Structure 1
């Protein structure tokens, strides 16, 4: 059963997380005269063009120079302003990790790193653009907050929350328009996971586009007599240790689901928590140490078992495996 305190709408209209961030950025531009935006020749694709059109004097187009973009943003932030740098995840942080690490994180500069076109849902662009390692890169950096919003509405809240705090932040968004199932009443707090659905047999910890798919998978599992809790871990860093431990112990089995390599991302973050606490077995589900191929988003989600059906199958396999080991 869905948690009524989360105010979800499972029949919402489709929308993209990049659109949500772009709209929230426009609102921040109105409220904060010290908000600056930089991009690397992809303003429209990452949806920061709305800000550029409204506030051209606070917008910097650096061209295809992601490393320069990060360094310039750090300089802007050093004057007391907030800077957001926006590009495809394959290049931001894929290409400018050094500058994010040294210029931004080492200086604890208030720069928000926005990566659009992430994961396999970027589809036909293929393996070169399907960044699947970004969360591992960003999660390891000191001072960096890491946010993975689940839909358009949550992307808005993620940016507003990142802007309100003082440290660097990384926000991961996507291009594909998917179901917007959270609402303006759904809570969002950095470092606080949202329990969207309660359950007793297995706890599914998901982030990004996999949250909705996990909720649909839980519906399928319920029909087979399996009670699955679904937890939206929108903040990978700082991770909500309390909720992860609580639901792992309650259910006795945890499954992490992410549109990312299983190494270094959400699965690793949850594994660190449950290993240090010693509370429960964990099945990590995502991309299994491989590059994905080109195709439409829905086709790739099915192929890599990251749609609701695939998650349902993975959970049942995990339950059978760990039962056999007892």
Structure 2
């Protein structure tokens, strides 16, 4: 992937999770930081002032990131320009190792009128000068949950809200993760003995890791801050040889379960060296009973 701009994003010690590497959600935050710098460099700061919303993210995780004083390096370019949307492609590296590839679809948004607006001639011209060609990601298919799966109530934190007055897109990676960990009610004693717990605390004890290999998030509506919790439903969408794909939906119980966000997450079961290993028979059988079908 030949990109047109490079941004360095510093790591923070607190970016690491219980598995001693940078949490998958933080990768989305690094991309956001790089994207904001990209838009500032473009001179299209009006978009950052009046509003820009994320339509979707696709992130492919290639290697874990461990803490060091050296920043992550994000290379960016524009892959598609529509009338009222554009797509950004990223390649994220750390210490010379490619760690993630990603795509984000965004559109300018007028916060005052709460309406999507078209790209201006100046914005289109700058984006055209930063066009690149990339291979598209394969689609991650998952059925609509329609209230199925394991429900998890989730209340936004005050600090989750960004300058545009709604929950920041990056925080949804955290919400989906919290719900997925809460769904460890699927885990029984036989799974723990096989060392394939979905709970990272157990997995670390058993020399087994669950690594996020891919994550797609689609934003269907803004999520405002409130004290009443939203709900995140999580279900098993697909079982592979060494992987499981989870589907998640953030819904509003106060609005007849309106779906606000949809996500798909691919987890790979790995040994303590990070090499994929087969799902144990008991784990496969247990998760198979939770499969959500069309």
TM-score tier, shorter chain, comes to under 0.3
Q: Which structure's residues are more often helix, by fraction?
A: 1
With normalisation by structure 2, the TM-score equals 0.25
Q: Which structure's residues are more often strand, by fraction?
A: 2
